[in-house]
Structures are given as structure tokens and as C-alpha cells.
A and B are shown apart, each in its own frame.
Chain A
Amino acid sequence: MSSLWFAIVAVMFVIYAVLDGFDLGVGIVYLLAGRTDAERRTLLGSIGPVWDGNEVWLIAGGGTLFFAFPAAYASGFSGFYLPLMMVLWLLILRGTAVEFRNHIVSPVWTPFWDVVFAGASGLLALFFGAALGNVLRGVPIDVDGNFFLPLWTNFRPGPNPGILDWFTITIGITSVAVLAMHGALWATVRSAGNLQERARGLASWSWLATAILSVTLLLVVPLVLPHFGRRYAARPWGLVFPTLAVVSLVSIKISSRATRDSTAFLCSCAYIVFMLAAAAFGHYPYLLPAIGDSQVSLTIFDASTSSSGLSIALSWFIPGTILVLAYFIFAYRRLLSRTDTAAN
């Protein structure tokens, strides 16, 4: 039962990364791709009706983590106190920017929110990547299951780590590159003319950065994360995930070259899914590995709530998921495509 809920939480965060990933990515490339007000409106319009729904996956995933693994939620959220609060501030600023920008047409109002939107999107991608890096690397957990990390120490993922070290920063930068590519590909699908050309160019550049950083990560991870090495050695079939990630990455390039933009975007979705699946597979059954004393590591078995509670949750989670799928089909079919045709 704990393993099932580990999978559910992982899937929810993966969906979050894929969906909110493209609207964060649109934010990252926003100032570079959209030069005129009309182009920027097109970019915002391409995420307008769906970004809030995408972000709900973060809330829902967090809520699921909360009840399924309360000890991990409590330990992780209090331990990453400062960066999480900054994430909250960035989410507030970004949501405000998206929704308030078009209320007033003014040479001081619009550019201000443009910069806030782009800046907050880029920083969020960086923070989320660094957060993933921290969860994978582990933290110095005390005997009560708590920790508190400073923002940085000596920038080394050794015995006295900070939130930011070279490993977590690398994952953060990778996250920015990946989401920039993801968002640029989305923008390519959703636009035409000059805007589309610029988005295509940005997708191409960020693909290159993604490729270099991904290969680096695949080489570095076994060195920094010994539990990944053990896990993949014990279950070699798991290597299918990183392999498929590489295949997806190559497919993005092939599809882009052939200007099959929708296919390229879907390959980008697949790339994110398989990269994160590879991470989740390697990380299992850990939620938060402890640095130093591995006895106090939080695994899914000691952090989960009672199995009766987990069974109860399944009874509403399954119908809930079906409803959510129905809303998303409605939102992407009816709202997005219709507003799009109305715009053109």
C-alpha cells in the first residue's frame, strides 16, 4: 500500500512537472520570444485558461504527500523552510502577474508585470530543480526525523550540505533548460509567424543545453547518489527509464527538424516523464535519505500513515482522478482551442 501511494505521489508531481512545466517554460522564454505586446498576449493566451489548473497539481500532490506520508511532509517542509517560502512568494508574484497584466494598458504597468512573470517563472524552475536535487541527495536528519538546511554552506554535497551546492544547482539549471525547451515547444505549437520562428529558435538552443546537461547528470548521478547505484544494480530493468529519456530527447530534435511541432512537444513531455521516472525509480523506497546516519533516513515504510487510512483514501482518490481527467479534457479541448481560433 505504501508503494502504491509512493507511485501515486510521484505520478502527481510528474504530471505537475509536465503541465505546469510548459507554462513555466513559456514564462522563461517569454521576454525573448515575445517582442511586441500582441505577441506577448498570444503567449499569455496560450496558457491563460489552463495555468491555474496546472498549478493545482502541485497543491493536490502536496496534499497527497501530506496525508499519505505525514512524517516526510512534516520533516521536508519544515527543513526546507526558507526556500519553500521563497517558492510561495514567487508563485504569488507569478500568478498576480499573469492575471493582472492585461487589466491596464500602460507603458509602466505592462512591462513591469512582463518582467515579474518571466523572472518568477525562471526562478521557480531553478528552485524546483534544486528542490529535487536536495530530496535526491538527502539531508542531515536528526533522531526525531527533523532537519533545517541553510541556503548554502560550502557548495559541496558532502556531510555539511546547504540547499545550494554544485549538484543541486546543476539540477536547477537543467530544470531551467528543460522547461525553457518545453515552453518554447508549446509556444511553437500555439503561435504563427515571427513569434513561432523565434520560439522554434529558442527551443533549438534550449534543446542543446538540455542535452549537454542531461548527459552530464546521467554521468554524475551514480557518483553523488550511491543509493541510485545500488538500486539500479539490483533491478537493472529500471535502466529502461533513462534509456527512454534519451530516446525521447533525440526524438524531440528529429521532430523539430521535420517541423512536426506537436510531436516535438509530446516527445518533450515524454522526456520529462522518463527523466523523473528514472529519478523516482532510483530513489525508491526513500523519501528523504539521511546524510551521515542512514538509520534515520525516511523511507515510505516509516513515513506513511496507517494502511487503513491509505485504503480509505483510495476510495475517493480513484473517482476524483476520473473527474479531474474529464475537466482537463474539457479545458484543453473546449477552452484552449476555441480561444485560439477566436484569436486567429
Chain B
Amino acid sequence: MDGLTVDRIHFAFTITFHYLFPQLTMGLSLLIVILKTIALRTGDPHYNEAARFWARIFGINFVVGVVTGIPMEFQFGTNWSAFSKATGGVIGQPLAMEGMFSFFLESTFLGALLFGERQLGPRLHWLSAFLVFLGSWISGFFIIATNAWMQHPVGYARNADGSFSLVSLWALLTNRWAVWEYLHNMTAAVVTGSTVMAAMGAFYLLTRQFENFGRTFVRLGVVLGLVASALMIFPTGDRQGYNVTLYQPVTLAAMEGLFEKERGAPLAIIGQPDVEARRLDNPIIVPNMLSFLTHRRWKAEVLGLLDFPQDQWPDNVALLYYSYHIMVGLGTIFVATFALAGLLMYLGRLYQTPLMLWALMLLAPFPYIATTAGWMTAELGRQPWLVYGLMRTAAGGSPRVSAGSGLFTLLGFTGLYAVLSVLFLFLIYLEVQRGPGATEHLSAGTVSTQAN
């Protein structure tokens, strides 16, 4: 493997693993605020107990998210030093802002949320939950603003040595790519949180334990999951797709597996791109649909890959195509499943329909897959650029870090994260076994036993 490949896998692996945790905590923080709000309004301790249970799950996820997040900021410098040197003046700012405006907020009030219920009283404790939610959503925004600048650079000037400096922070933060990417990403995080909550509830109902809580979890998860998965497709996914059409037309062609320019281009539901032969094998298509989705006209012209010089094509067309199709396919399945569950809930038959509960329970891993596939679409779609149209990925690495050093640390991270995965699953399993309503527990982290 050459150094560039190692560095790309290094970043892809560490960020993919890392993002398994924040996507849940960002979604779950909203659900916890909702539970705490109901508890505050109704005074029903049931909802406080439900919030405590999810705060424990949140806490374990947060820890793994934090410890796997620190390497991300370091890796810009360690493995992508040429990129950092050129763009640090721009993307360093939103990254530093994330630290100042989000990490301090989150770390302070997570402690208050997990350990401070007794000391703070119901209102301040609600506020702690809200500030953790706010902190994690602010954090997401700055990361998206950074990524959006790489996808669609704005608000910068080019220096004499080719490096970039920031001219307008406002332009960077209100980048139209950032706005839609953020909303799309956050609704996806809510889908992950809602699905996990509904799946946990379904599991408790099917195993006939904590059924009272199981119904609450299913109800809240299904309602919010339905809303979020619908918003994920329209308007956020739709507008995100429009941005790709507008600013990265070659990426759109690759995502759709479209080689030839077409008027009234079809949407391929399934099919295998054969890049060498420049065609899509075994396609199942919806005629004219792609033209309509991208340009709002059935007969609009959509450019194909062959309209662009090949050195500007994303370097892995097939993987990009599959990532995109997996994301879209799963997104559709989420809407269908939640709509069906919502209908049964409206008819008052949801908790008595084991088949539906099974479906909800088995849905749990799929938002993670969909989110990962979505980010692979964004990142593979940006190739061969690091900063779209301005700096190539091949030019961004660290000139003095050898492929061997990179492989050494990649293997190190792989081993460490394997251990973390096992520990994580084990601790989550214990929490699920312990369940909500168990007030005497040892599990809320370091000081819980002190506080209790």
C-alpha cells in the first residue's frame, strides 16, 4: 500500500468508528430532553426514570465518542500536514470554535446530567439535559461547516504560497452546502436515536420485561422516527442532492451510475456499474425520474460521467454508487417501517402486533449503516479533491510520514478500537439487562456512587 492509501484508510477507519457514537448521542440528547420535558410538565416520575435509563446509555456512548474523537483533530496534522498547512487558517477556525462553544459546554453539563439530579433540582437538571443537547448539536454544526467548506469552499482568499486564509467567517458558517448538509445529518442522527429507542422498547415488550417503559420507548421512538425519517428525505435530502447537482455534477453522475448525457434521465433503483465498459448492468429504472428530481422537469438534461475529463471523476465510482444507493434504499425503508408502526399505533394495535415489534427491533443497526453509507457518499463523492476543485487529495498528505509509520498506527487503532467495541457492547448489554427503574445502580460513571 502506498502512503496515500494508508492515510485515507487511516482517516476513514477512525472517523467511521468514531461517528457510530456521536450520531446516537446527538439524536438521543433530543429524546432525553423530550422525556425530561414531559416529566417536568406532568410530574410523572416514570418519564424521569426513562430519562435516567437513556442518560446511562448516553453516558457510555459519550465516553467512547470523546476518546475516539480526540484522534480526529490530531490526524489533520499528523497524516494530512500539507492539507493542514494550506487550509488551517480556514478550517482551523470552525474546529477551534467547536472546542470553545461545544466541548466545554458538553463536558460540564454532562456531569450535571449524570450526577447532579439530586443536587440541582428538577428545573436545573432539565436545563443540564438541554445544554448537553445544545452542546452536541453545536458540535455537529462546526464539524459540518468544516466539511462543507471542503465540499464547496466559500469565504476564503488564496495567499501567494497557495495556502488559504479566511476572509468571511459568516460566509463559511452560512455556506448553503453547510446548512442543508447539517439539517440532513442531524435528522439522520435523530433517526438513529429514535430507532435505537424504539428497538429497545420493542425488545422489552417482546421479552416481557419493563413493559411499561417498553411502551414509552416504542411510542416516542416511532413518532419521532417517523417525523425525522420523512424530513431526512424531504426537504433535507432533496436539497442536499440539489447542491450536488449544482456544484458537483460529476459526482451526481457517478452516484447515479449515469455515463452518457441524457434528456429525461432515468433513476436507477438497482444495477451494477461497469466502469470499464461505461455502462450500468442489470438496471431496474424509473424513466425520467432523475431529471425530475434534480431539475424539477421530466425532460431536463442530466450530464453523464463521460461529459467530464476522467481525471475529475471520483476515483471509486462503484463504491460511491453503492454507498449512495444503500443510503437511499435504507432511508425509504425507515419511512415505510415507521409509517406502518405509526398507523398501528394510531389504531391502538401496535403493542399487540409481534411482527411489527420484531421489525422495529431488527431495524436497530440499519440507521448506522445508512449514516455511514451517507458519509461515504459525501466523502467518496468529493474525490479526487480534498478541497473541491482547488486541492487534490493526493497533494494533502504528510511528506515525511512513511507508509510504514502510517500502517503501524492504523493497526494500533484497529486493535484498540476492537477492544473498545467489545467493552462497549458488554457495558451496553449490562445496562439493557439492568433496565430502567433500577435506582440503585453502579453504572452512571465515576462519581455516581459518591453522589448517591
- Decide if B97 is an interface residue (CB 8 Å cutoff): yes
A88 touches B71 (CB 8 A): yes
Given contacts A99-B446, A102-B443, 16 further A-B contacts (CB under 8 A): A41-B449, A42-B450, A63-B97, A66-B84, A70-B86, A78-B77, A85-B412, A91-B70, A102-B445, A103-B430, A104-B442, A308-B167, A320-B101, A334-B112, A334-B120, A339-B115
Contact of B446 among A45, A77, A104, A327 (CB under 8 A): A45
Q: Which residues of B contact A343 (CB under 8 A)?
A: 450-451
B234 contacts chain A at the CB level, 8 A cutoff: no
Interface size class of B (residues with CB under 8 A): 35 or more
Answer whether residue B297 sits at the interface, using C-beta atoms and an 8 A cutoff.
Answer: no
CA distance A147 to B416 in the complex (A): 27
Chain A 94-113 interface mask (CB, 8 Å, partner B; 1/0): 01101111111100000000
User: Which residues on A sit within 8 Å (CB–CB) of B120?
Assistant: 334
Closest partner residue, chain A, to B101 (CB atom): A320
Residue on B with the closest CB to A331? B108
* Residues on the B chain within 8 Å of A95, using CB: 63, 66-67
B288 cross-chain contacts in A, Cβ below 8 A: none
Name the distance in Å between B448's Cβ and chain A's nearest Cβ. Answer: 7
B96 interface hit (Cβ, 8 Å): yes
Q: A74-B84, A78-B398 are in contact. Are A309 and B165 (CB under 8 A)?
A: yes
Asked if B400 and A147 make an inter-chain contact with CB atoms under 8 angstroms apart, the answer reads yes
Can you identify 30 A-B contacts, CB atoms within 8 angstroms?
A42-B450, A44-B447, A52-B66, A52-B111, A53-B111, A64-B96, A66-B77, A67-B95, A70-B87, A78-B79, A81-B409, A89-B416, A100-B427, A102-B445, A103-B445, A105-B442, A146-B81, A148-B400, A305-B92, A305-B165, A308-B166, A309-B89, A309-B165, A309-B166, A316-B169, A320-B100, A324-B100, A327-B104, A330-B108, A331-B111
> 9 closest Cβ contacts across the A-B interface?
A67-B92, A70-B88, A77-B77, A305-B89, A63-B96, A60-B99, A48-B446, A306-B165, A320-B100
Pick the most buried of A73, A92, A98, A330: most chain B CB atoms within 10 A of its CB.
A92
Of all chain A residues, which has the CB nearest B83? Answer: A74
- Please tell me if the beta carbons of B166 and A59 are within 8 angstroms of each other in the complex: no
**In the complex the two chains form, is B165's CB within 8 Å of A85's CB?**
no
> Do B88 and A59 touch (CB < 8 A)?
no
In the complex, A330 Cα to B59 Cα: how many Å?
20
Which residue of chain A is the closest to B63 with respect to CB atoms? A99
Across-interface contacts of B105 in A (CB, < 8 A):
323, 327
1/0 contact string of A272-308 vs chain B (CB within 8 Å):
0000000000000000000000000000000001101
Number of interface residues of A (CB under 8 A): 78
Contact (Cβ within 8 A) B111 A148: no
B74 in contact (CB, < 8 A): yes
Q: Could you tell me if A92 and B111 are in contact, using CB atoms closer than 8 angstroms? A: no
Which residue of B73, B423, B443 contacts A59 across the interface (Cβ within 8 Å)?
A: B73
Q: How far is the CA of A320 from the CA of B99 in the complex (A)?
A: 10
Q: Which residues of A contact B76 (CB under 8 A)?
A: 66, 73, 77
A229 lies within 8 A of chain B by Cβ: no
Within 8 Å of chain B (Cβ to Cβ): is A338?
yes
Interface assignment of B337: CB less than 8 Å from any CB of chain A:
no
Residue from B67, B97, B423, B445 whose CB has the most chain A CB atoms within 10 Å: B67
Q: Which residue of chain B is the closest to A144 with respect to CB atoms? A: B399
Contact check: which of A64, A84, A100 meets B74 at CB < 8 Å?
A84
Interface bits B124-158 vs A (CB < 8 Å: 1, else 0): 00000000000000000000000000000000010
CA distance in complex: A52, B398 (Å): 30
Determine if A48 and B447 form an interchain contact, defined as CB atoms under 8 angstroms apart: yes
Q: Please indicate the chain B residues that have their CB under 8 angstroms from the CB of A321 in the complex.
A: 100
Chain B residues within 8 Å of A338, by CB: 116, 119
A41-B450, A74-B77, A100-B423 in contact; A48/B398 too (CB < 8 A)?
Answer: no
Complex CA distance for A76 and B450, rounded to whole angstroms: 42
Q: Quote the shortest CB–CB distance from A22 to chain B (angstroms).
A: 15
Q: How far is the CA of A90 from the CA of B146 in the complex (A)?
A: 27
User: Inside 8 A of B408's CB, which chain A residues have their CB?
Assistant: 82
Interface SS of B by simple majority = helix
Check if A50 is an interface residue, CB within 8 A of chain B: yes
Given A71-B85, A77-B74, decide whether A96 and B165 contact each other with a Cβ distance below 8 A: no
- A48-B88 contact in complex given A95-B67, A96-B420, A316-B100, C-beta closer than 8 Å: no
Residues on the B chain within 8 Å of A70, using CB = 84-89, 92, 163
Q: Which chain A positions have C-beta within 8 A of B87?
A: 70
Chain A residues within an 8 Å CB radius of B109: 327
What is the number of contacts between chain A and chain B, taking CB atoms within 8 Å?
Answer: 259
| CA of A98 to CA of B86, assembled, Å | 37
State how many angstroms separate the Cβ of B214 from the closest Cβ of chain A.
Answer: 23
Name the residue in B68, B416, B427, B451 with the highest tally of chain A Cβ atoms < 10 Å from its Cβ: B451
Q: Which residues of A contact B256 (CB under 8 A)?
A: none
Assess whether A170 is interfacial by the CB under 8 Å rule: no
Q: Are B442 and A103 in contact (CB under 8 A)?
A: yes
Q: Is the CB of B88 within 8 A of A328?
A: no
* A52 & B88 in contact (Cβ 8 Å cutoff): no
**B401 cross-chain contacts in A, Cβ below 8 A:** 78, 81, 148
A75 at the B interface (CB under 8 A): yes
A145 interface hit (Cβ, 8 Å): yes
Chain A residues with CB under 8 Å of B181's CB are none
Q: Are A103 and B73 in contact (CB under 8 A)?
A: no
Return chain B residues, CB-CB under 8 Å to A91.
Answer: 67, 70
Q: Would you give the shortest CB distance from A68 to chain B, in whole angstroms?
A: 7
How far is the CB of B439 from the nearest CB of chain A, in Å?
16
Q: How many Å lie between the Cα of A331 and that of B110 in the bound state?
A: 10
Closest to A79 in B: B400
Closest to A49 in B: B111
A342 at the interface (CB under 8 A from B): yes
CB distance from B104 to the nearest CB of A (A): 5
Structural contact, A334 and B442, CB atoms closer than 8 A: no
Query: Which residues of chain B are near A306, meaning CB under 8 Å?
Result: 89, 157, 159, 165-166
Q: B111 to chain A: which residues have CB within 8 Å?
A: 48-50, 52-53, 331, 335
Q: How far is the CA of A324 from the CA of B400 in the complex (A)?
A: 37
Q: Name the distance in Å between B262's Cβ and chain A's nearest Cβ.
A: 44
Contact A313 B165 (CB under 8 A): no
The residue that A146 contacts in the complex, of B86, B97, B159, B399, with Cβ under 8 A, is B399
A342: chain B residues within 8 A (beta carbon): 118-119, 450-451
Contacts of A166 in B (CB 8 A): none
Contact in complex: A99, B74 (CB < 8 Å): no
CA distance A309 to B88 in the complex (A): 10
CB <8 Å contact, B74 and A62: yes
Shortest distance in angstroms between B258's beta carbon and chain A's nearest beta carbon? Answer: 38
Shortest distance between the CB of A59 and any CB in chain B (Å): 5
B420 close to A92 (CB less than 8 A): yes
**What separation, in Å, do the CA atoms of A82 and B116 have in the docked complex?**
40
Is B93 part of the binding interface, using a Cβ–Cβ cutoff of 8 Å?
yes
Q: Is A4 an interface residue (CB 8 A)?
A: no
Question: A44 to chain B: which residues have CB within 8 Å?
Answer: 446-447
A317 in the interface (beta carbon within 8 A): yes
